[in-house]
Amino acid sequence: MLLPLTLPGTATAAPRQTGAAFYQQTNLVSDISGLAAFTDAHLVNPWGISFSSTSPFWVSDNGTGVSTLYNGQGQPFPPPPASPLVVTIPPASGSGQGTPTGTVFNGTTGFVITQGTSSGPARFLFDTLDGTISGWNPAVNRSSAVIAVNNASSAVYTGLTMASNASGTFLYAANALPSPAHPNGTIDVFDQHFT
């Protein structure tokens, strides 16, 4: 038992606050109803997230094979009355469901994707566990990314980033597939022509 005691001639003071660190968690969006401000059934096993200075957030939904877009409040984008944009990330085999992991925004004129007679620089790029790198440009295909690299037999991509140097802009894909020479996997590097 603890008894507070004040002796004559002493003063009691409240504990001094020294900028204690704290945070407040706000669940913005979830695939589970009632858990967040917004519910989106596509948001299953989200991995990568990317955005440009003017775009909404793009999230790679590994469990549903798509990328979904959200504004800063977690609301699917574009908000109602429009239908939210959901971009399919294609699988390596051409059928079934893709498994997107990493994603990056591309503000360059490189990394051009083509489908039929339409082509343009991929605005957003995605890698997948099935070894592909796909790009999305609304003028090429508004609802689906287009496969630019298919390394299904030699890659399991788990992350993606982009960087530039004096030689150009490069895409770096984390390849988790081990080999005798690289038991911990590799980083596969692609130039603006996906080579």
pLDDT computed for residue 20 by the predictor: 75
Distance CA 138, CA 85 (A): 11
Question: Are 106 and 122 in contact, with CB atoms under 8 Å apart?
Answer: yes
Token pair belonging to 80: 């109602």
Cβ contacts of 92 within 8 Å, gap of 6 or more: 98, 128, 130, 131, 132, 147, 150, 152
Q: How many residues does the chain have?
A: 195
What pLDDT was estimated at residue 136? 99
* DSSP one-letter string for 44-94: SSEEEEE--SSS-EEEEETTTTEEEEE-TTS-BSSPTTSPPPEEE---TTS
| pLDDT tens series, the chain, 195 aa | 333 334 444 455 555 666 678 899 999 999 999 999 999 999 999 999 999 999 999 999 999 999 999 999 999 999 999 999 999 999 999 889 999 999 999 999 999 999 999 999 999 999 999 999 999 999 999 999 999 999 999 999 999 999 999 999 999 999 999 999 999 999 999 999 999
What ranges do the domains of the chain cover? 35-190
Pairing of strands 38-39, 29-30: parallel
For residue 150, give both structure tokens.
């298919």
- Chain CA centroid to CA 23, Å: 24
The answer to whether 10 and 18 are in contact (CB under 8 A) is: no
| Sheet hosting strand 100-105, strand order edge to edge | 100-105, 124-128, 132-136, 146-150
All residues at 6 or more sequence positions from 116 whose CB lies less than 8 Å from its CB, including other chains:
none
pTM > 0.85:
yes
